[in-house]
Amino acid sequence: MVEENLSPADISRNLKTDFIGKKVIAYPSLSSTNDIAKSEAKKGAREGTVILAEEQTAGRGRLKRAWLSPKGSIALSIILHPTPAQLPSLIMVASLAVAHCIEKVSGLETQIKWPNDVLIKGKKACGILIESDVRGSAVDYAVIGIGINVNLLPADFPEIAATATSLAQELGREISRREMIRCLLVEAEKLYLALPEGDSVFREWRDRLVTLGKEVELISGKTSYKGVAESVANDGSLLLRQPDGNLIKIVAGDVSLRQ
């Protein structure tokens, strides 16, 4: 594996953003970048602060699942101060930023599986976790956690090799993690700043969802649902048409396409 300097100075230097990535705090190893980001946010860290780790030993994704981030991957978290109305859109901002940058930097095509799994050739290449602290009608802070399988090989994630992939595996070569990170920070800021200006972020996210129009099985909590993923609401919820014709709204869950 090519050693690459992911120093805060190299990431922030001439970065074309107004606030995201202007301060980067980097660690050789962390249990969870989101945990450190939340701690920094509680101490008053400014919006756009990024927590970065060369490796993450106890990362997690949605539904409290473990997310492996060995050396060669990207593990970072971004601190934001969204409005309550913007909070549900952060999954769209994060998944689109990842999709844009994978396509720009590697040339690989991506898809998004509801709500925010970024896929390459049907296999998962990225994990995203949004966490926030909401008090009454105010959002104290939100953290976008992103883990991307970049310069990893199947031997690095043998337990999930059937359902996961990496950029290096698909390309047959390694790519610059620094370039990917810088791209991510620029794209995340563009998309985040576009939220108050209309529904362009929602529309692109919706149009990229591979889930829509498909027969799916969905597990939400302890309940399993089957039906057709018909559409999504503006808040990101999935609208599922059940076999009896009933249309239900699912806020969170795990979707699999039925074969």
Report the pLDDT value the prediction gives residue 158, as an integer from 0 to 100: 63
Spell 135-150 as b/e; 16+ CB within 10 A means b. eeeebebbbbbbbbbb
Tell me how far apart the terminal alpha carbons of the chain are, to the nearest angstrom: 37
pLDDT > 90? residue 69? no
pLDDT > 80? residue 25? yes
Count of CB atoms within 10 A of residue 233's CB? 14
- pLDDT tens for 157-182 read 767 777 899 999 999 999 999 999 99
The band of 59, judged by pLDDT with boundaries at 50, 70 and 90, is: low
pLDDT > 60? residue 231? yes
Q: Which domains does the chain have, with CATH numbers?
A: 8-207 (3.30.930.10), 211-257 (2.30.30.100)
Q: What angle do CA 86, 215, 60 make, to 5 degrees?
A: 45
Of the listed ranges 52-56, 68-72, 103-107, the one predicted with least confidence? 68-72
Report the pLDDT value the prediction gives residue 63, as an integer from 0 to 100: 44
Cα separation, 242 vs 229, whole angstroms = 9
- pLDDT tens for 81-123 read 999 999 999 999 999 999 999 999 999 999 999 999 999 999 9
Cα separation, 184 vs 241, whole angstroms = 35
Q: Whats the size of the chain, residue-wise?
A: 259
Q: What percent of the chain stands above pLDDT 70?
A: 93
pLDDT > 90? residue 66? no
Burial of 4 (0-12, 13-18, 19+ CB in 10 A): middle
Half-sphere exposure of 51 (CA within 13 A, CB side): 25
Report the pLDDT value the prediction gives residue 137, as an integer from 0 to 100: 85
Q: What is the mean pLDDT of residues 216-237?
A: 93
Report the pLDDT value the prediction gives residue 154, as an integer from 0 to 100: 76
Is the pTM for the entire model greater than 0.85?
yes
- pLDDT tens for 31-48 read 899 999 999 999 999 999
The band of 136, judged by pLDDT with boundaries at 50, 70 and 90, is: confident
- Reported as type and span, the H/E element at residue 257 is strand 254-257
Residue 235 gets which letter from DSSP?
T
Count of CB atoms within 10 A of residue 31's CB? 14
Which pairs from 66-70 meet CB under 8 Å and 24+ separation?
A: 67/127, 67/129, 67/147, 68/156, 68/157, 68/160, 69/147, 70/152, 70/156, 70/157
